[in-house]
Amino acid sequence: MRRVIFNQKGGVGKSTITCNLAAISAMEGKRTLVIDLDVQGNSTQYLLGKKITDSDKTIAHFFKDSLSLSIFGGNSGSGLENAIHATPFPNLFVLPSHPELEPLQGRLESRYKIFKLKEALEKLEGFDEIYMDTPPILNFYSQSALIAAHKCLIPFDCDIFARDALYLLMQTLTEVKADHNQALEIEGIVVNQFQKQANLPRQLVNELIAEGLPVLAAMISTSVKVRESHSESKPLVHYVPAHKLTDEFRALHAEIHSS
């Protein structure tokens, strides 16, 4: 199963949701891969505790390679294997981001390499679950992930501007599905940084539900433990396994895997 976590608004918790769901999958015994397509590399740092400086050991190398394919063809593999890193956590792996993704983007777009990630992931063997973290913009890399994915999760951070942006995002996903990936399923909206005692978040969530949008029942609260887990480079299931927030991520993981 390949999932993409995407929203065109920044600061909604894409990397946090990506890494914590992936960590739970791995803890349940599934061989799990996180692909970090955001040039900021937050998922990379969260899972490895550092950025990767050598671009040849990141997903940037895969995209560079796609621009210089030999006329004699390559090997039968996906082209991704050599850039995958084991994390300190059993069954959990990451394909790191790198700043070199930024200058590559124009060349990749002009050469129409938008399907290369999908083709490579279809050849990649040995993983039960793949989670893709994306930049907060509809660019070459986020489109590549949407084309390669089976399902899309949309983080929503209970902000009035986030609600307005959500309608545009749903239209964008509809267009990507129609034009490039008819198998793409909008799995649901993940309500993140939720304060159930505050009026505005509850009002916004109720409005989305009333409008028939696919809001998932499991919601993620606001907690300082998220920032602490970032600082320690430990997903919550490893950092504070008995915490309420960790249980919320477990509930979210169970919900998306129950369908």
More confident residue, 12 or 251: 251
CATH of the domain at 220: 3.40.50.300
Other CB atoms within 10 A of residue 185 CB: 15
pLDDT of 42 higher than 90? yes
pLDDT of 85 higher than 60? yes
CA distances in angstroms from 211 to 12, 32, 42, listed in the order given = 21, 34, 33
pLDDT at 69: 64
* Cα–Cα dist 21/2, whole Å: 12
Work out how many domains the chain is built from and give that number.
1
Domain that holds residue 214: 2-256
Average pLDDT over residues 110-114: 94
CA distances in angstroms from 237 to 34, 60, 126, listed in the order given = 16, 29, 23
Confidence of residue 77 (pLDDT cuts 50, 70, 90): low
How many percent of the chain have pLDDT more than 70?
A: 96
Farthest CA pair distance, the chain: 62
- The long-range contacts involving 163-169, CB below 8 angstroms and separated by at least 24 positions, are 163/204, 163/207, 163/208, 165/7, 165/8, 165/9, 166/208, 166/213, 168/8, 169/6, 169/7, 169/8, 169/9
pLDDT of 198 higher than 70? yes
pLDDT of 156 higher than 60? yes
Q: Report the chain's mean pLDDT, rounded to a whole number.
A: 92
How many percent of the chain have pLDDT more than 90?
A: 80
pLDDT of 115 higher than 90? yes
pLDDT at 49: 96
pLDDT of 33 higher than 60? yes
Average pLDDT over residues 213-236: 95
Say which range, 24-33, 142-151, 160-169, has the weakest mean pLDDT: 160-169
* Cα–Cα dist 130/123, whole Å: 13
Average pLDDT over residues 230-246: 97
Residues 94-106 pLDDT 10s = 999 999 999 999 9
pLDDT of 76 higher than 80? no
Average pLDDT over residues 212-236: 95
Confidence of residue 165 (pLDDT cuts 50, 70, 90): confident
